[in-house]
Amino acid sequence: MKNKKPTLTVAIPAFNEAENIKNVLASLLLQKQERIVLEKIVVYTDGSTDKTPRIVKEAMRQSSLIHLIVGKHQRGKFYRLNKIYKENTSDVLVVLDADIGLNGDMFLDSFAMSVINDPAAQLVSAHELPLIPKDFIGRVIASSYLMWDQIRWSIPNCDHVQNLYARATAYRGSFAKSLYIPDEATEERLYLYLMAKKTNGFRYCHDAKIFYWPVNTIYDYLKLAERAFGRPQPAVNKVFRCDVTHLYTIPRKYKLIGTFKSLYHDPFFTPFALLTGYVLSKMTLGRKTLDSPIWEISLSSKRIIKL
């Protein structure tokens, strides 16, 4: 008798994602299932005011795998994530943002098996690659993303909270059941990373790749700076009974290694990225950090992704 294939649920928390939700659902339905069984694809809307629920309902008529959970009021991504963790019944849970593109038709198979094939793996982050805008300002901002990628990827085994960007994340089902992002948290990644690190269970999967649009305007870049990633997280400190803020910091050695790698791969735009990053850091110094998990949407990162 053949071994039973592990089961998989894909969950997508979505707020006003009409631009891309149809594309990501279509990409998921085209995924091959050589080593897994895709049980369902569940979209959790968060008080969407655009056509997102209608588009999902149209997709439901094409495939019985697709399900819709309508949240009538906007409660934020973390609220929806906690529902996703609680309601999952599959061996592996994959949580995706709606504004991404999947690389190839083996994405889900590779991503899910990175959990199944490693008994210690609890939480796996996908390999995230920015798409490059054509305009100059957008290209410079994208270069700052690429430089940061070179920095964070320089860390051995990519074992750092800065390598958990949560656009595409795979969870062992039993681990997902143990999670509850604190109500007072203003970002989820440090909590998730530390929960996985309790058993040395964080992994980074280079084989499972997704694409996304970085912001390409100064306004959206500054709005991103108001989000809480990298800032103190009192609610997370309470969970782990110590100040964990220092874990955001990447040692200077890897910053230098990553910067030199970026200069090697992109010698023209990296200096512009360094200068822009410095100027914008001065502009954002002292800006108030959002103390709510409900953020303003960065419209320039919501463009349609066609691969």
Write the CA distances from 17 to 28, 29, 53, 215, 300, integer angstroms: 16, 18, 9, 16, 13
Closest CA to 95 of 113, 75, 80: 80
Phi first, then psi: what are they for 19, rounded to 5°?
A: -65, -40
CA 66, distance to chain mean position in Å, is 21
One-letter amino acid identity for 254? Y
Q: Note the pLDDT of residue 244.
A: 94
The Cα–Cα gap between 83 and 11 comes to 10
Q: Note the pLDDT of residue 132.
A: 93
In this prediction the pTM is 0.93
Could you tell me where the DSSP H helices lie in 76-182? 77-87, 107-116, 136-153, 173-177
Q: Note the pLDDT of residue 1.
A: 37
Neighbours of 69 (CB within 10 A): 17
The Cα–Cα gap between 72 and 190 comes to 28
> In this structure, what DSSP letter does residue 49 have?
-
Q: Note the pLDDT of residue 240.
A: 96
One-letter amino acid identity for 156? P
Question: Could you tell me if residue 131 is left (phi over 0), alpha (psi between -120 and 50 degrees) or otherwise beta?
Answer: beta
The Cα–Cα gap between 265 and 298 comes to 28
Q: Which two tokens stand for residue 242?
A: 């110590």
The Cα–Cα gap between 217 and 133 comes to 11
Rounding to the nearest 10 degrees, give the CA dihedral for residues 25, 30, 34, 40. 30
**CB of 205 within 8 A of CB of 126?**
yes
Q: Write the CB contacts of 40 (distance below 8 Å, at least 6 apart in sequence).
A: 9, 10, 65, 66, 67, 90
**CB of 88 within 8 A of CB of 173?**
yes
Q: Which domains does the chain have, with CATH numbers?
A: 7-290 (3.90.550.10)
Regions of the chain short of the pLDDT cut 70: 1-3, 225-230, 284-297, 299
Question: Could you tell me if residue 70 is left (phi over 0), alpha (psi between -120 and 50 degrees) or otherwise beta?
Answer: beta
The Cα–Cα gap between 101 and 211 comes to 5
Q: Note the pLDDT of residue 280.
A: 75
Q: Note the pLDDT of residue 204.
A: 98
pLDDT in tens, 176-208: 999 999 998 888 999 999 999 999 999 999 999
Q: Which residues of 146-163 are buried (b: 16+ CB within 10 A; e: fewer)?
A: bbbbbbbbbbeebebbbb
